[in-house]
Structure 1
Amino acid sequence: MQVWMNLLSNMLNIAQKRAIKYPYIEITISEHAISFHDNCGGIEPEIVEKLNKGSYKNGLGINMSREIVEKYGKHLFIHNLDQGAQFMIVLS
């Protein structure tokens, strides 16, 4: 639940910061993954790279989320889609 709250909070904060008129967060749950994606413009590519390597140390709560997910043997992947960022927790 803490990971979900961190991801949703980050997405809502960036929507407000960027003044997205009609923000949305889509959550997709399948047998193999839980995906969160938004329409808030994405994350700078160099930051996405650092986030995926675990070397980004500023804010976002992503490092804590990654640690929680990995503690349970799962993986967290971050990338940009056409309209925003996607955070995917791979369950298997």
Structure 2
Amino acid sequence: MDIIKINKALSNQTRLNIFGWLKDPDKHFPPHKELGHFDFGVCVLYIQEKAQLSQSTISHYLSLMQQAELVIPTRIGKWTYYKRNEDTVKKYAKLILEKI
């Protein structure tokens, strides 16, 4: 785990918002018509619509978050779904408590 990558990934308000929304997708996104659940995370389209940014910007943001191991992508058909990597969150929180 790279604490600097995580800090950089979360240093943008929209990325921080996305990460927060993914914590409780039922509260922040409409149900997936195709899947009927959020087991694999949230479709990029839903994230884009909520953030009101372009698809390319959201994809870039999610890529940064993926590189920092904050999110886990799952591809189903033509759609990619993202969910939080709670293991990374726990390790990050522990590291912050130990180092700061």
Q: Rg bigger for which structure? A: 2
Structure number having the greater strand percentage: 1
